[in-house]
């Protein structure tokens, strides 16, 4: 099977979640023996359709533009056994690069109007290959793709098939290390989907469910996103610069602190036992929360616990400065900026840096 996979994300340098998903889908297709060519539309010169209908009249089947679409992509597209259209969701639909590609496939249709029972269509000049649509989006709900999916089905030509629609919401959260296990399962399932498509021309409901599974609670996606954007704005960096500079997102509330704090802990420090760590915050965010570290897990709870091993009382801003590496924890302690009661050595062990957690 010859497959053409089109990626319309403009993002480069491993930052595109469309690309992340497409890579795994293609891997699965190749494992099943398919020949797959991946084309990044951003690298191609594809002019806008100018609506001249020359491809329907003076030069039937041929576009007036002399660009990569006419010279390379349109013939490849026609010859493929399957085309994967991989697009980021922009304003609830495919992005403009993919839309431009679609417009330029007009030479594959004939100008005449054929009456169907309910819908008129243009007959096709050529066989148009079946499609797989792959899309990712930022919001956490799978329903974010409803408008796009509805559009695809309402506009589907009777002689063109869709073998699968693969949608991944909350895609931007796939790069946070907080949900590594779930993200790996989503990526494995996407690879499996590629294999299934090449073998059976469809994706099983089980595989589809794994691809679309929630990464975490919806509220957590919102917390993570808001923390990320607030930090970008405060640091005056774009998301790309945020990644390049290794900036740590700054919690702005008890919930966001409780979400990210466990990730930085050296859980081994608890050994076979259970360590209780109490926080009392003052200043911009006031309140209490505590963490139980046990058997490699960390449980976060609002309020106070009995007999904590470590109790930290600190202005919220001071602790966030330490967490985001703007201030040195030891120095702040020496200067009395925060207070610790309990096992200081255990605290030092718990906060030991470990590259594998980042």
Ligand X SMILES: Cc1cc2nc3c(=O)[nH]c(=O)nc-3n(C[C@H](O)[C@H](O)[C@H](O)COP(=O)(O)O)c2cc1C
The residue ranges that bind ligand X (CB under 6 A) are 9, 11, 16-19, 88-92, 136-139, 144, 171-172
Residue 155 is classified by DSSP as: T
Nearest-approach distance from CB 93 to ligand X, in angstroms: 8
Shortest distance in whole angstroms from residue 138 CB to ligand X: 3
Could you tell me which residues are beta bridge partners of residue 340?
A: 312
Q: How far apart are CA 167 and CA 18, in angstroms?
A: 10
- Which residue number places its CB atom closest to ligand X? 88
Q: How far is CA 11 from CA 1, 41, 98, 183, 240, in A?
A: 28, 11, 14, 20, 10
Nearer to ligand X among residue 14 and residue 71 (C-beta): 14
Of residues 19 and 165, the one with the C-beta less far from ligand X: 19
Q: Which CB sits closer to ligand X, 13 or 303?
A: 13
Residue pair 37/4 in contact (Cβ under 8 Å)? The answer is yes
DSSP 216: S
- By beta-carbon proximity to ligand X, the closer residue of 11 and 125 is 11
In angstroms, the CA 24 to CA 253 distance is: 36
User: What are phi and psi for residue 41, nearest 5 degrees?
Assistant: -60, -30
- The DSSP output letter for 264 is G
- Are 164 and 202 in contact by the 8 Å Cβ rule? The answer is yes
Q: What does the alpha-carbon distance between residue 332 and residue 342 come to, in Å, rounded to a whole number?
A: 17
Minimum Å distance from CB 145 to ligand X? 8
Q: Using CA atoms, how far apart are residues 338 and 1, in angstroms rounded to an integer?
A: 64
CB of 356 to ligand X, least distance (A): 25
Name which of 147 and 348 has its Cβ closer to ligand X. 147
| In the complex, minimum distance from the CB of residue 357 to ligand X, in angstroms, rounded to a whole number | 24
In the complex with ligand X, which residue's Cβ is closer, 91 or 356? Answer: 91
Closer to ligand X by Cβ: residue 16 or 105 = 16
Closest separation in Å from C-beta 130 to ligand X: 23
Shortest approach of ligand X to residue 250 CB, angstroms? 21
Indicate the DSSP class of residue 343: -
Task: Say which residues have a Cβ less than 8 Å from residue 177's Cβ, sequence separation at least 6.
Answer: 263, 357, 358
Nearer to ligand X, 55 or 170 (CB): 170
Say how many Å lie between the first and final Cα of the chain, rounded: 40
Q: How many residues does the chain have?
A: 358
Residue of 93, 64, 63, 89 lying closest to 77 (CA atoms)? 63
CB of 152 to ligand X, least distance (A): 15
């Amino acid at each position: 099977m010859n497959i053409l996979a089109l990626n319309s994300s403009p993002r480069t340098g491993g930052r595109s979640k469309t690309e992340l998903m497409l890579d795994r889908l293609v891997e699965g297709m190749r494992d099943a023996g398919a020949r797959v060519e991946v084309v990044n539309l951003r690298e191609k010169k594809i002019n806008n359709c100018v609506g001249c209908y020359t491809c329907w009249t003076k030069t039937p089947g041929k576009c007036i533009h002399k660009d990569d679409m006419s010279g390379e992509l349109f013939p490849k597209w026609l010859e493929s056994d399957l085309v994967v259209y991989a697009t980021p969701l922009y304003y609830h639909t495919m992005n403009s690069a993919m839309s431009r590609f679609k417009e330029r496939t007009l030479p594959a249709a004939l100008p005449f109007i054929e009456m169907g029972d309910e819908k008129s269509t243009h007959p096709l000049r050529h066989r148009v290959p079946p499609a797989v649509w792959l899309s990712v989006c930022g919001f956490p709900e799978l329903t974010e793709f409803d408008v796009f999916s509805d559009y695809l089905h309402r506009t589907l030509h009777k002689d063109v098939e869709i073998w699968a629609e693969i949608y991944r919401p909350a895609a931007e959260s796939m790069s946070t290390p907080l949900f590594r296990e779930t993200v790996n399962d989503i990526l494995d399932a996407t690879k499996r989907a590629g294999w299934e498509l090449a073998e059976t021309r469809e994706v099983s409901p089980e595989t589809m469910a794994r691809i679309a599974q929630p990464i975490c609670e919806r509220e957590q996606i919102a917390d993570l996103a808001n923390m990320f954007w607030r930090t970008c704005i405060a640091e005056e960096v774009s998301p790309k610069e945020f990644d390049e500079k290794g900036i740590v997102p700054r919690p702005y509330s008890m919930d966001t602190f409780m979400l990210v704090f466990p990730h930085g802990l050296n859980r081994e420090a608890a050994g076979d036992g259970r360590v209780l760590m109490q926080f009392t915050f003052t200043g911009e965010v006031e309140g209490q929360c505590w963490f139980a570290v046990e058997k490699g897990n960390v449980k976060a709870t609002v309020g106070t616990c009995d007999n904590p091993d470590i109790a930290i009382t600190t202005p919220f801003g001071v602790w966030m400065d330490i967490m985001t590496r703007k201030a040195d924890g030891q120095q702040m302690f020496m200067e009395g900026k925060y207070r610790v009661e309990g096992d200081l050595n255990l605290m030092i062990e718990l906060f030991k840096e470990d590259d594998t957690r980042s």
